[in-house]
A and B are shown apart, each in its own frame.
Chain A
Amino acid sequence: MAMGDTYLDEPNRSFFGALWKSWQRKRRRDRVRSLSNVRFRLTREGVHYIGILIFIFIGAMLRDINLLILLAGAMIGLLLLQWRFNIRTLIGLTATRRLPRSTHVGTPTEISVRVANPKQWLGAWLVVVEDPLQKLTPSPKRLLEKGVAVVDEVRPANSAASHYQLNFHQRGRFQVGPSTISTRFPLGLGKGMRTLDNAEQITVFPLLGTLKPRIKNVFQQEMHGNALASQKVGLHEADFYGLRPWTTGDSRRWIHWRTTARLGTLSVRQFERQQRQQACVLLDLHGAEQRKLLELDDKVELAISFMATLATGMARYGSDRLAVAVAANENFALPSVQSSTLVENLLERLAVISASPNPDWIGALRGITIPLLSNPHLLVVSTRENQTAQLQQFARDGIASKLFSRIKVTWLNVMSGDLEPYFSWT
Chain B
Amino acid sequence: MDIAAAKKLRSALSVHFVVLASLTAMLVATGSQSYFLPIFISTVAAVAYILVDRLEWFELGRIGSFIGMLTATAFSIGSYLYSAFSVPSESGQLLAIAGLLVYPEAVLFMQGKSLRVFEQLAVFLLLEMIVAALVNDNILFGLLLAPIMLLWVSALFLFSRYATLVQIDPSIDKPNPILAEILYQRFVKTVIRPAPKQSAVSAHATLGTVQSARGFRRALQSVPIGIGSIVFAAFFFYLMPRTSIRSLDPSLAFEPVVGLPKSLDIGTVGRLLANPTPVMRVSLRKFGSGENYSLKRNEPPYLRARVMETYQADSNGRGWVAHNEWIFGGISEYRRLRGLESLRNASNAYRDLVTIEFDIKRKFVSVMYCAPPAFAIAPSQEMRLNYDSYNLVLEDFDLAKLPRGRSLVYDIGTLGFKDGVQLRVTPAQVALPSFTSSRGRRNINHDLREFENANRYREELLEQSQVDLNDRFGIADFFERHFTNGEFTYTLDLRPPIDPDLDPIEDFLINQKKGHCQYYASAMVMLLRQSNIHSRIVVGYRPTEFNSRGKWFSVRQNDAHAWVEAKFTHEELSNTFLKDELTDAEEYWVRFDPTPSGTEEGELAIVEQSGQTLDYVEKLWKDYVVEGQKLSGDNTLYAPVAENSKDAYEQVLEKLRNFRQNLESGHLFSGQGGIGFEWPLAILIIGIGCLAILVWRLAWWLPRLAPRLAKRFGLERNANMIQQAFFARCIELLKRQGLTRGSCETPQEFTQRAVDELTRKATRNASLRDSLSLLTTIYYRLRFSQHSQLSKSETQAIDEAIRELTLAKSK
Chain B residues positioned under 8 Å from A108 (CB to CB) = 204
Chain B residues positioned under 8 Å from A65 (CB to CB) = 133-134, 405
Q: A45-B159, A68-B130 are in contact. Are A63 and B248 (CB under 8 A)?
A: yes
Choose from B149, B160, B206 the contact partner of A149 (Cβ within 8 Å).
B206
| Per-position 1/0 for B190-233, Cβ under 8 A of A | 00000001111111111101110000000001000100111111
Name the interface residues of A30-71: CB closer than 8 Å to any CB of B: 43-45, 48-49, 52, 55-56, 59, 61-71
Q: Is A76 an interface residue (CB 8 A)?
A: yes
Q: Is B168 an interface residue (CB 8 A)?
A: yes
Report the Cα distance A153→B235, complex, angstroms.
32
Closest to A172 in B: B200
Chain B residues positioned under 8 Å from A166 (CB to CB) = 201-204
Choose from B153, B165, B204, B225 the contact partner of A164 (Cβ within 8 Å).
B204
* A188 and B159 within 8 A (CB): yes
Q: A68-B133, A78-B229, A128-B168 are in contact. Are A186 and B209 (CB under 8 A)?
A: no
Q: Is B157 an interface residue (CB 8 A)?
A: yes
Q: Which of B236-244, B309-317, B701-709 participates in binding chain A?
A: B236-244
Q: Is B453 an interface residue (CB 8 A)?
A: no
Q: Is A385 an interface residue (CB 8 A)?
A: no
Chain B residues positioned under 8 Å from A80 (CB to CB) = 232
Name the interface residues of B681-728: CB closer than 8 Å to any CB of A: 718, 720
CB distance from B657 to the nearest CB of A (A): 26
Q: Is A422 an interface residue (CB 8 A)?
A: no
* B198 and A169 within 8 A (CB): yes
Report the Cα distance A144→B249, complex, angstroms.
53
Name the interface residues of A118-169: CB closer than 8 Å to any CB of B: 118, 126, 128, 133, 135, 141, 143-152, 155, 157-159, 162-169
CB distance from A116 to the nearest CB of B (A): 6
Chain A residues positioned under 8 Å from B133 (CB to CB) = 65, 67-68, 70-71
Chain A residues positioned under 8 Å from B122 (CB to CB) = 45, 48
Q: Is A352 an interface residue (CB 8 A)?
A: no
Q: Is B127 an interface residue (CB 8 A)?
A: yes
CB distance from B311 to the nearest CB of A (A): 45
Chain A residues positioned under 8 Å from B197 (CB to CB) = 295
* B156 and A74 within 8 A (CB): no
Q: Considering only CB atoms and an 8 Å cut-off, how many residues of chain B contact the other chain?
A: 71
Chain A residues positioned under 8 Å from B743 (CB to CB) = 116, 118, 157-159
CB distance from A61 to the nearest CB of B (A): 6
Q: Which of B40-48, B259-267, B621-629 participates in binding chain A?
A: B621-629
* A169 and B718 within 8 A (CB): no
Chain B residues positioned under 8 Å from A189 (CB to CB) = 156, 160
CB distance from A108 to the nearest CB of B (A): 8
Closest to B204 in A: A165
Q: Is B675 an interface residue (CB 8 A)?
A: no
Closest to B242 in A: A64
Choose from B126, B160, B211 the contact partner of A188 (Cβ within 8 Å).
B160
Closest to A159 in B: B743
Choose from A59, A116, A148 the contact partner of B205 (Cβ within 8 Å).
A148
Of B130, B199, B200, B244, most buried by chain A (CB within 10 Å of CB) is: B200
Report the Cα distance A188→B225, complex, angstroms.
13
Chain A residues positioned under 8 Å from B207 (CB to CB) = 150
Report the Cα distance A76→B233, complex, angstroms.
8
* B160 and A184 within 8 A (CB): yes
CB distance from B720 to the nearest CB of A (A): 7
* B160 and A186 within 8 A (CB): yes
Q: Is A174 an interface residue (CB 8 A)?
A: yes
Chain A residues positioned under 8 Å from B149 (CB to CB) = 74
Report the Cα distance A76→B242, complex, angstroms.
17
| Per-position 1/0 for B320-356, Cβ under 8 A of A | 0000000000000000000000000000000000000
Report the Cα distance A384→B240, complex, angstroms.
79
| Per-position 1/0 for A167-188, Cβ under 8 A of B | 1111010100000000011111
* A66 and B237 within 8 A (CB): yes
Of A81, A118, A147, most buried by chain B (CB within 10 Å of CB) is: A81
Q: Is A245 an interface residue (CB 8 A)?
A: no
Name the interface residues of B610-629: CB closer than 8 Å to any CB of A: 625-628
Q: A52-B126, A157-B743 are in contact. Are A69 and B236 (CB under 8 A)?
A: yes
Chain A residues positioned under 8 Å from B153 (CB to CB) = 78, 186-187
* B232 and A48 within 8 A (CB): no
Q: A67-B626, A74-B229, A148-B168 are in contact. Are A164 and B206 (CB under 8 A)?
A: yes
* A150 and B210 within 8 A (CB): yes
* A128 and B167 within 8 A (CB): yes
Choose from A64, A74, A157, A167 the contact partner of B230 (Cβ within 8 Å).
A74
Name the interface residues of A287-334: CB closer than 8 Å to any CB of B: 295
* B625 and A81 within 8 A (CB): no
Q: A48-B123, A77-B236 are in contact. Are A64 and B164 (CB under 8 A)?
A: no
Q: A187-B160, A189-B156 are in contact. Are A77 and B233 (CB under 8 A)?
A: yes
Q: Is B744 an interface residue (CB 8 A)?
A: yes
Q: Is A357 an interface residue (CB 8 A)?
A: no
Q: Is B393 an interface residue (CB 8 A)?
A: no
Report the Cα distance A61→B635, complex, angstroms.
13
* A61 and B744 within 8 A (CB): no
Report the Cα distance A205→B153, complex, angstroms.
49
* B203 and A66 within 8 A (CB): no
Of A108, A141, A145, A188, most buried by chain B (CB within 10 Å of CB) is: A188
CB distance from A161 to the nearest CB of B (A): 8
* B204 and A167 within 8 A (CB): yes
Q: A45-B159, A184-B160, A187-B157 are in contact. Are A150 and B236 (CB under 8 A)?
A: no
* A67 and B136 within 8 A (CB): yes
* A186 and B157 within 8 A (CB): yes
Chain B residues positioned under 8 Å from A149 (CB to CB) = 205-206
Chain A residues positioned under 8 Å from B243 (CB to CB) = 61-62, 64
| Per-position 1/0 for B111-131, Cβ under 8 A of A | 000000001001100110110
Choose from B164, B201, B242, B248 the contact partner of A174 (Cβ within 8 Å).
B201
Report the Cα distance A73→B236, complex, angstroms.
6
Q: Is B175 an interface residue (CB 8 A)?
A: no
CB distance from B170 to the nearest CB of A (A): 11
Q: Is B432 an interface residue (CB 8 A)?
A: no
Report the Cα distance A75→B237, complex, angstroms.
12
* B163 and A188 within 8 A (CB): yes
* B201 and A167 within 8 A (CB): yes
Q: Is B546 an interface residue (CB 8 A)?
A: no
Q: A64-B242, A74-B149 are in contact. Are A163 and B206 (CB under 8 A)?
A: yes
Report the Cα distance A152→B213, complex, angstroms.
11
Q: Is B161 an interface residue (CB 8 A)?
A: yes
Of B134, B207, B210, B236, most buried by chain A (CB within 10 Å of CB) is: B236
CB distance from A180 to the nearest CB of B (A): 13
| Per-position 1/0 for B43-70, Cβ under 8 A of A | 0000000000000000000000000000
Q: Is B440 an interface residue (CB 8 A)?
A: no
Choose from A45, A76, A184, A188 the contact partner of B232 (Cβ within 8 Å).
A76
* B635 and A45 within 8 A (CB): no
* A66 and B628 within 8 A (CB): yes
Chain B residues positioned under 8 Å from A157 (CB to CB) = 743
* B248 and A151 within 8 A (CB): no
Q: A48-B123, A146-B203 are in contact. Are A158 and B720 (CB under 8 A)?
A: yes
22 contacts between A and B (CB under 8 A): A45-B119, A48-B119, A52-B126, A52-B127, A59-B130, A63-B248, A68-B134, A73-B232, A74-B149, A78-B225, A126-B164, A144-B199, A145-B200, A147-B203, A159-B743, A162-B206, A166-B204, A167-B201, A186-B156, A187-B157, A189-B156, A189-B160
Apart from A67-B141, A170-B201, 11 more pairs, CB < 8 Å: A43-B163, A52-B123, A61-B243, A73-B233, A78-B156, A81-B228, A141-B200, A151-B209, A165-B203, A166-B201, A188-B159
Q: Across chains A and B, which 8 residue pairs bring their CB atoms closest together, nearest first?
A: A188-B160, A77-B232, A73-B236, A73-B233, A77-B229, A67-B133, A74-B233, A187-B156
A binding-site residues for B, Cβ under 8 Å = 43-45, 48-49, 52, 55-56, 59, 61-78, 80-81, 108, 116, 118, 126, 128, 133, 135, 141, 143-152, 155, 157-159, 162-170, 172, 174, 184-189, 295
